[in-house]
Amino acid sequence: MLSTTETQANSGVHRESALQFVVYLLLLAGAVGSFLLIQHFGQTLSAPDAVDAEAAPKVGKAPGVDVVLHVLATLAAIIAVGNLFAWGFRKIGQPAVIGEVVAGIALGPSLLGSISPELLHVLIPGPNVDPQGMVLSSLKTIAQLGVILYMFIVGLELNTHKVGRHARAAIAVSHASIVVPFVLGAVLSLWLYPRLSTSNVPFTSFALFLGVAMSITAFPVLARILTDQRLERTDLGVVALSCAATDDVTAWCLLAFVVGVAQSQISSAVMVAIWTFVFIAAMFFVVRPLAIKWINWAEPRGYDRQATPILFIALLCSSLVTEAIGIHAVFGAFLLGAVIPHDSRVAQELSRKLIDVVTTLLLPAFFAVTGMNTRIGLVSGMESWLICGAIILVATMGKCGGTIAASRFVGLDWSMSTALGVLMNTRGLMELIVLNIGLSLGVISPKLFAMMVIMAVVTTVATAPILKLLIKRIQPELAA
């Protein structure tokens, strides 16, 4: 039995609870009564006539379409399917990015659109529902932001000291692996231009862009393949990473010039090249020393932990400058990352914070946009597939041949040279970034874009199995 004190305590608790419930009901009744009173007086008021819908469009809305709803649905679908494909490709020894690229193509008109156009339009509405293309435009904006941040991370992780230690071999091999495929790509453009281009695209822009597209090596994908094969610390791995890093810097500088040519007349393109050179010099000879000095001062004092807003402002400003010069914003993002010491706590912390958000949430939008732009159905008929095969063959011959020749020239043996040539033929995401730039500028047609995407996927998929075969034969030499 409860004591008198306990009974009184329980009785007090019940009274307090009852009182709180009554107060809650009164509060709720007061809110409802207040709103009804406000509504009564509000109905006596008059408002100005409605503004024309075109003059004041609803945020996130297009006529007959909810932009936010479709963008969220598309992102959810590409993340889910991309991770599923990435898991499958990892199981067969391929880099996850290939699975994500294939997922983007599968959710686009090439597969989903051919099976069920209605289901595709659930993600990306057709022009009859979204005549202004606001859903795709919103996805493109997210994709651009994702690519800019991704290239910034690539720059942050670039080991410039490692490149310096292997500078002689890296510069010779990387430049040969750019020059040879660039020239072969330009030669191939003589055959492709009358077949896959139009008169409003100057041949010079077409040839330059095709040459650059043939010259790209995907530094992040190559690094992932080396890590998966446990080769990143071997002589082959160190030289390959050094070559790929040097290749990236050179190729992006070359791309900057090509974009300037494509967007301007030759005289204007020269000014673009001059301003690009000034910008690069300023980043390496002004911004980098200042960044190193500030990091050396701030890290011991803990001030580097408040550097994130400053770095984001610098990232946006660097991207704005390169966009204003006439080259793509991703170049400014990459270069800013490259001038920040990769082994500093600032670079490591920022890279760690960004990598998951960028690769998991933002980059899938890029894969979705790439998938929407890729229409494999355009590559139809024997002639089209022969052209596609020729592109793959020329790209492989240029990259592998140029790399092997230069590697032998600097004194590497045949085994190392061959493995290096196979690795440098990796293209992956970097190639897709370049191709999307070319498509957005109108330099390459949707049909050629589809062929080049196929080339990027095929050359990247071929890297890991061929490398495994080579490693079985030359493992003792690589382990030395």
* pLDDT on residue 478: 47
The total domain count for the chain is 1
Inter-residue contact 150 to 357 (CB < 8 Å): no
Indicate which CATH number applies to the domain containing 240: 1.20.1530.20
The neighbouring-strand residues paired with 353 are none
Characterise 47 by phi-psi region: left (phi > 0), alpha (psi -120 to 50), beta (else). beta
* pLDDT on residue 76: 92
Residue 62 resides in a domain: no
Global pTM reads 0.75
The neighbouring-strand residues paired with 88 are none
Residue 310 resides in a domain: yes
* pLDDT on residue 304: 66
Confidence grade of residue 38 (pLDDT, cut at 50, 70, 90) = low
Q: Which of 104, 102, 87 is nearest to 364 (CA)?
A: 104
pLDDT, mean of residues 204-214: 87
**What does the pLDDT look like over 289-323, one tens digit per residue?**
998 998 888 878 777 677 788 889 999 999 999 88
- Exposure string of 263-291, with b = 16+ CB inside 10 Å and e = fewer, is eeeeeebeebbebbeebbeebeeebbeeb
pLDDT at 63 over 60: no
- The range of the structural domain enclosing residue 178 comes to 136-363+391-479
Exposure on the CB side of residue 162, measured as CA atoms within 13 A: 22
pLDDT, mean of residues 330-355: 86
φ/ψ of residue 201, rounded to 5? -105, 115
Residue 90 resides in a domain: no
* pLDDT on residue 394: 93
Residue 43 resides in a domain: no
Residue 21 resides in a domain: no
* pLDDT on residue 56: 45
Residue 33 resides in a domain: no
**What does the pLDDT look like over 413-452, one tens digit per residue?**
888 888 889 988 888 777 888 888 888 888 899 999 999 9
pLDDT at 358 over 70: yes
Among 41-45, 244-248, 385-389, which is the least confidently predicted range? 41-45
pLDDT at 479 over 60: no
- Alpha helices of 92-202 — where are they, by DSSP H? 96-106, 112-115, 117-123, 134-156, 160-165, 167-196
Among 47-61, 148-162, 426-440, which is the least confidently predicted range? 47-61
Residue 65 resides in a domain: no
* pLDDT on residue 203: 87
DSSP three-state, residue 230: coil
Residue 418 resides in a domain: yes
